[in-house]
Structure 1
Amino acid sequence: MTTVLDRYFEIVNAADNDRSALEDLREILAENVLLMHSGEMVQGREPAVDFHRDQVAKWKESKHHWTASVEAGGSITGKWSQAGLDLQGNGSCGNGHVSVSLDAEGRISRLHLSLTGGSDRARVLIAKHLEVWMIPDAAERAKAMEEIYTEDIKIMEPEDVFAGRDAINDYISVVQRKAPPLSGRLVSHLQNKEFIHWSWDFGFPGSKRALGSEVLHLNGDLIEKIVIFSGHSDIFTEGTR
């Protein structure tokens, strides 16, 4: 049986040869769809279509492969992978899990593609880092933190410092309750040995935006220190102190 997830990947694959194919996403996405893709997040049909335009523009050519399984409650889960050539003509790939929730009309109301592996190690680590901040359940989040943060992880914000997984887990709960972002986009990223520098753009209620960057200090495949730089820290920390 063909599912709406199959249709989604068929459209994304078709866009490799004809970017106008992405217009067909409007047929399968709910108006207020929540898209979480490799740690990035947007809400709304038009922002989701624009997001996919940006994704296609990052590849010279690529193709997705996937599996899809309909669960008892009607949701759809599976695995996905993407491989091809980047804009410089270098081979690139990524893979992860995917889950879909549908609205009453059978359109996608929530689409979540996690990035768990790939040729760009820095991008995978950023995705895992961001995924932690999206998990609503503290116990589930604690398990995810073990896979990306060292036990003595330290986050240095412009005005605050948080040390240890437990303290950061508590802080994430506060952020999700009092200052949840409406969108989160990765602007750029670079890696130099055990350091990753990446820039971000977050949107908040009231058309507020917070731009900034982070330096991630790695210990193997775990992050042990996060240093945040932003001139808009009052926006993304509003109400959390």
Structure 2
Amino acid sequence: MTTPLDHYFQIVDSAHIAGSALDALADIFTEDAVVTHSGEMARGWGEIIDLHRAHAANWAEVALHWTTAPPEAGGSLSGRWRQEGQDPLGRACRGSGGIKVALAPDGRISRLHLTLTDGSDRARVIIAKHLEVWMIVDPGERAEAMEGIYTEHVRFMEPDNVFVGRDALNDYVDAVQRKAPHLGGRVVVHSQNRNYIHWVGSFAFSGAMTVVGSEVLRLNGDLIDEVVVFGSDGTSL
């Protein structure tokens, strides 16, 4: 039986043959669908298609594989995905993770959550896990996810505040979500230099607020030990 999740992967898999194939995503998503993909977020057909086009542009050649689990109660679907290929510069690359979707009564996808948990681009995997934390609403679930990406005494530095420790950062994320819910976001560019990752992003919040800025992540192994946030003018937020 072919599920909406299979249809999704079939469309994404055909994007390297014809970029216009991604237009068909509008047929399987509801008009106001929400997609979280590798730490990024998109809402509605236009943003969802643009997000997938940006990801497809990172691959010159790609083989996509996926497995889907039997439908869960309420019609939700889940599965695993992986892909291998080459980037536009001819370098070998790979990525893998999980996926969950919720379906509307008409069978179209209303929410899709795709995680990037492993890949050849270590920095992008870490950024994805970092951003995933900020999308989790439940504090308990968020605390568990934090153990997999932050050190116990992680430092999160903004211009007026410094939060030390996972518990303090968890409380701060909760406060940010209540004050300005996250409505969308994209990772524009990223790079890594030894134990440091620098990335630039653009994020939308309720109240028509858009934040463009960057962060420097200092790593301890595969965990983030320090986050320094910068605004678009180069000053610390």
What secondary structure is seen at the aligned counterpart in 1 of 2:23?
A: helix
Match of 1:61 in 2: 61
Match of 1:104 in 2: 105
Is 1:28 the counterpart of 2:42? The answer is no
Structure 2 portions without partners, runs of 5+: none
Distance in 2 separating the partners of 1:231 and 1:186 = 14
What secondary structure is seen at the aligned counterpart in 2 of 1:155?
A: strand
For the 8 Å contact 1:153–1:224, the answer to whether it is kept is yes
Matches within 5 A, 1:106-145: 106-145=107-146
What is the Cα deviation at residue 59 of structure 1? Answer: 1.2
- Specify whether residues 232 and 40 from structure 1 end up closer, same or farther in structure 2 by C-alpha distance, changes over 3 A only: farther
Is 1:222 the counterpart of 2:220? The answer is no
Worse-superposed segment, 142-151 or 51-60: 51-60
Amino acid at match of 1:43: R
Match of 1:146 in 2: 147
What fraction of aligned residue pairs are identical, expressed as a percent? Answer: 55
Match of 1:210 in 2: 211
Distance in 1 separating the partners of 2:232 and 2:115 = 29
Structure 1 portions without partners, runs of 5+: none
**Runs of 4+ in structure 1 displaced over 6 angstroms?**
none
Match of 1:39 in 2: 39
Amino acid at match of 1:10: Q
Distance in 2 separating the partners of 1:151 and 1:29 = 39
What is the Cα deviation at residue 231 of structure 1? Answer: 4.4
Normalising by structure 2, report the TM-score. 0.95
Normalising by structure 1, report the TM-score. 0.94
Distance in 2 separating the partners of 1:39 and 1:180 = 15
- Report the number of matched residues: 234
What secondary structure is seen at the aligned counterpart in 2 of 1:14?
A: helix
Match of 1:177 in 2: 178
Distance in 1 separating the partners of 2:179 and 2:210 = 16
Task: Give the CA RMSD over aligned residues.
Answer: 1.4
